[in-house]
Amino acid sequence: MTDLIQLENIGVTYHSKKVLDSLTLSIAAGEFIAVCGETGCGKSTMLRLILGAERPTSGRVLIDGRELPRPDRNRGYVPQKYSLFPDKTVLDNITFGPEMEEFGLIGMLTPRYYRRRAELREQAHAYLRQMGLQPGDGAKYPDQLSGGMQQRVAIAQALIMRPKILLMDEAFSALDPATRGGMQRLVRKLWAETGTTILFVTHNISEAIFLGTRVVVLGKDDPAGSSKVMFDLEIPEESREPSGIVGRDEMDRLSALIEGAGLGEKLEIGVA
């Protein structure tokens, strides 16, 4: 597999405080990377660098071998908060991307837009069904949906663009454990179906292990220092049970590694 994302010697400094230093990481197309680490270790910064929403102080971020200075349609984004446009209905949120891409700002004033709009809405309905939402939810505004439903719509909104990379920043952190479990299974299913490269940031190690084909743990040797990659663990698919849960032996191996590095207490062990 070729590397889709390359982080080369990345350093990030905020107000003369080094957050990331000499971070190097390669991600191949089709991988599901779960990035885990304690609060403030720079995992969201890393995601924002890949997204193009932030620039490194030193080093390079390459997407498909090129430095891309700002976010674009090839990198979908699902943040923890403000994931949907509050002024648009669910359907309008989902069709926003294709509409902008196909018609731009001015094209939306043409009659062709209104003819095409019906097709796009039909497509959006299909995504709604795939996300387990009801057709009636399409006319609702985001604040009329539960947190889990909002995140389902946000995923549909990102996936309708068929991005090469989907970046999810603590996307399920605000959800209750039951909803969170359902969302995790949904994302894994979508990953298996679409083959989209996913980078999922979480501070929950169990969630990271459940989701990722690779778990990257960021951390600091010294509390005042900058973060680096502490672990880059492959989770073999064959170690998973049919339900997707990682088998006991593999779990024990990972736990031993994490505990051995003294990270056990720092990483939230929650429901996977």
Question: What is 47-68 written as a DSSP string?
Answer: HHHHHTSS--SEEEEEETTB--
The span from the CA of 208 to the CA of 36, in Å, is: 7
The span from the CA of 55 to the CA of 46, in Å, is: 10
- Count the residues in the chain: 272
Query: Residues 28, 62, 100, 257: which binds other proteins (CB under 8 A)?
Result: 100
The distance of closest approach from Cβ of residue 94 to other proteins in the complex, given in angstroms and rounded to an integer, is: 10
**Cβ nearer to other proteins, comparing 139 with 269:** 139
The span from the CA of 171 to the CA of 61, in Å, is: 23
**Cβ nearer to other proteins, comparing 56 with 219:** 56
Cα of first residue to Cα of last residue in the chain, in angstroms, is 28
**Cβ nearer to other proteins, comparing 142 with 148:** 142
Q: Is 82 in the site for other proteins (CB under 8 A)?
A: yes
The distance of closest approach from Cβ of residue 220 to other proteins in the complex, given in angstroms and rounded to an integer, is: 26
**Cβ nearer to other proteins, comparing 141 with 231:** 141
**Cβ nearer to other proteins, comparing 143 with 241:** 143
Residue with tokens 């990102």: 158
The distance of closest approach from Cβ of residue 90 to other proteins in the complex, given in angstroms and rounded to an integer, is: 11
**Cβ nearer to other proteins, comparing 69 with 223:** 69
DSSP bridge pairs for 12: 20
The span from the CA of 168 to the CA of 212, in Å, is: 12
The C-alpha torsion from 22 through 27 and 31 to 32, rounded to 10°, is 20
**Which positions from 144 to 183 touch other proteins by CB under 8 A, shown as an x/- string?**
-------------xx--x-x--------------------
The SS3 assignment for 75 reads: strand
Residues that bind other proteins (CB under 8 A): 51-53, 70-73, 75-77, 79, 81-83, 85-88, 96-98, 100-101, 104-105, 141-143, 157-158, 161, 163
